[in-house]
Structure 1
């Protein structure tokens, strides 16, 4: 929990996870609420004029940060005792600043800034944080704010936006050379929702997090329509509150599917529908030799169908989710043929390559392209990770490796996964978290 001084709970960077490979994973795993969808839904909830309750929020680091960030900016914001429900209510004294230190810890700071700007007409915010696996510019967010009538200035490591003449309906293109920007699409939605008149978002992202945000706003009186031009948003000067439930986390589901398949096992994922995995992800996993089937409305069965196959995959809108790339690469070291994963969302994404090679994998990268040699015999290793999905990848490699691996991945895992280590243990993994770490901080 947060201390009275506003400190975040300490999760030692040196927290150790030890995994003895060779255990086949089988059983049931409950998927958490989507981290990325929840972050955007909480940001959208800042527009509401009455209280909002966001249910099934994952108990990960970013929501400890959000709780304190929003309290600092003047909202009644709190997680419940179970750390699964986030409640928000605006006060009469909103602070037009995103905390300069805490705001630098999360990737969605520009989206939060857009919500504060929409409510107050002015905001100051620091540069975005999150996983630094490559340079991730925020220029499209600033372009959206300018299109809506804001004057945006940079200072040192942060930004200030003001709307001296008020907001205006706007037209903005949120595409980048790597495709539509999911974050900038949400920034545009939040500003357009409060701007009188009709705004147009050209080349919007259609990722699940965007669709959830559109649904949330539409249910609260904001008119959003999509046609060949883009997203048409008719703003409102009053937005209702209420309740919203976060969908299942497809990134966590992909990680657990890859972990089970890497050991030749099978898993029943509870709390997520097959369609929530998205077509791009299910197609790639199926081509790799993993059978996926719906078992009820909110349960997916995943199991290996014989030897794994190498695949060629591209990440991006409508394709393989970028966050699934590193876990998939770890799995594909066990395929019977070589694989190629091309990153289509970011300039590159290869921070997992060197850690995986420590296990004996044969992986290389060139620009956005990662080559994975199939059929590798993995052996236990001492490895670390600096970002969430690299941490997941080395866990998968350790599960498939011979011997006991020592992984320094506690903090990045807890940033993205509420209970991955405990869930893998329940599936039969030979996994322990270093006893010197506080049990309450286990990822």
Structure 2
């Protein structure tokens, strides 16, 4: 059975919603609790599937987790950490790639870790090679088995010096979670420095870690023998906020997003304004609205922070179908992130995708036959369609298109959106959308 959402489109979204902690941070902060010798408390936690997956994995490893989903708080007691059964880990891993980040903390606590086959959104190659190589350089022994990968630490992990070929968020998180209790100093060059990474560093520092971040993307960690628990309030989810902002723009609406701040969204806000949207930054959130008149086409290139975030690209492309002229979007982070445009073309959008690097400099995908550039011509009216959700962000983008389209769309596989958007149907209804949920 697959969940579907019936969307009667053509109505501008208007009203207020609230976002809670960032999906891309909260799950990593939960893993960090494994490193402590005392309980941790995380606040502003969203009620999403990824949190449930990590909660299950922590519980399998003996961490006592108490959750108050209404208050958005998690208490995690890692006092009795233990090895989990392979079959149990595998049962939880299909919906998330988070098990790879358990390795460093479990090697410190238990001397071993196991990684089953990993799931996650199919938006491009997300190899775990970076992660395994990082663990090897710390002194871990990696053994591939039929059901997954078994990793052991025959002795205490040792600090190392690593330079990433690309500032990977996941690899940077892996290094941080491993280095903080490794012996000696670790240096990471070409590190990711996204706001979610910085919030994870703040959590680790609260626990007793010694971490410095230089302006040239170099992170240095001095390993310590012991870490304690933490108390922390997660930063707001800037990806979800931008998704609702794009929905307001695409539908001609007016949406106030509470719980998100300006600093992590400054690059998005600049682009939102260039397209023709307007916003008002307040102490408790940001209001986004379509001021009327024509939207403007743009040239856009995704990039690692502080550039335009890849997760902002897909929702914004839907809004660009309503802009006057030709927009060019060059995706440099994930090579297969334009697969979602096929459904948009079926709804009336004029979008071509190309293998060439368009609208900017060459990138690492330019000679590898990936369709990673898009040309969007508009404005084009959208009409209802039957849609299959391909991945988390692409799925929400399809949902935006259905909201902007004339007629009633059937969006299949909508349960995938639950991974990263807390109570999104309730929020849609609060904004005046005409939606109903069913199953097929």
Alignment check: 8 A CA contact 1:33 1:57 kept: yes
Q: Does 1:199 align with 2:186?
A: yes
Partner Cα separation in structure 1 for residue 20 and residue 80 of structure 2: 34
Q: Which moved more, 1:21-30 or 1:251-260?
A: 21-30
Alignment check: 8 A CA contact 2:13 2:431 kept: yes
| Aligned ranges 1:28-107 → 2 under 5 Å | 28-80=16-68, 82=70, 84-95=72-83, 99-107=89-97
Task: Tell me what 1:316 maps to.
Answer: 303
Shift of 1:175: 3.1
Q: Does 1:120 align with 2:110?
A: yes
What is the aligned counterpart of 2:268 among 260, 281, 296? 281
Partner Cα separation in structure 2 for residue 148 and residue 57 of structure 1: 32
Alignment check: 8 A CA contact 1:174 1:202 kept: yes
Partner Cα separation in structure 1 for residue 58 and residue 71 of structure 2: 16
What is the aligned counterpart of 1:427 among 431, 435, 439? 431
Task: Tell me what 1:235 maps to.
Answer: 223
Alignment check: 8 A CA contact 1:114 1:191 kept: yes
Task: Tell me what 2:171 maps to.
Answer: 184
Task: Tell me what 1:19 maps to.
Answer: 7
What is the aligned counterpart of 1:303 among 289, 314, 319? 289
Residues 9-66 of structure 1: CA distance to partner in whole angstroms, max 9, x if unpaired?
Answer: xxx52x2211222212221111132111101111112111110111121111112211
Alignment check: 8 A CA contact 1:358 1:383 kept: no
Shift of 1:212: 0.7
Task: Tell me what 1:328 maps to.
Answer: 316
Task: Tell me what 2:358 maps to.
Answer: none
Partner Cα separation in structure 2 for residue 216 and residue 128 of structure 1: 26
Aligned residues: 419
What is the aligned counterpart of 1:173 among 158, 163, 170? 163
Shift of 1:157: 5.1
Q: Say if 1:345 and 1:156 are closer, same or farther in 2 by CA, change over 3 A.
A: farther
Shift of 1:97: 6.3
Task: Tell me what 1:363 maps to.
Answer: 351
Alignment check: 8 A CA contact 2:18 2:258 kept: yes
Task: Tell me what 2:152 maps to.
Answer: 162
Task: Tell me what 1:396 maps to.
Answer: 400
Task: Tell me what 1:353 maps to.
Answer: 341
Partner Cα separation in structure 2 for residue 166 and residue 394 of structure 1: 48
Task: Tell me what 1:410 maps to.
Answer: 414
Match of 1:101, SS state, is helix
Alignment check: 8 A CA contact 1:57 1:246 kept: yes
TM-score by length of 1: 0.90
Task: Tell me what 1:6 maps to.
Answer: none
Shift of 1:170: 0.7
Residues 345-381 of structure 1: CA distance to partner in whole angstroms, max 9, x if unpaired?
Answer: 1222122111111211122222211222221111111
Partner Cα separation in structure 1 for residue 379 and residue 217 of structure 2: 47
Partner Cα separation in structure 2 for residue 313 and residue 120 of structure 1: 46
Alignment check: 8 A CA contact 2:353 2:375 kept: yes
TM-score by length of 2: 0.91
RMSD: 1.8
Q: Does 1:265 align with 2:253?
A: yes
What is the aligned counterpart of 1:383 among 369, 381, 387? 387
Gaps of 5+ in 2: 355-370
Q: Which moved more, 1:318-327 or 1:208-217?
A: 318-327
Match of 2:207, SS state, is coil
Alignment check: 8 A CA contact 2:20 2:46 kept: yes
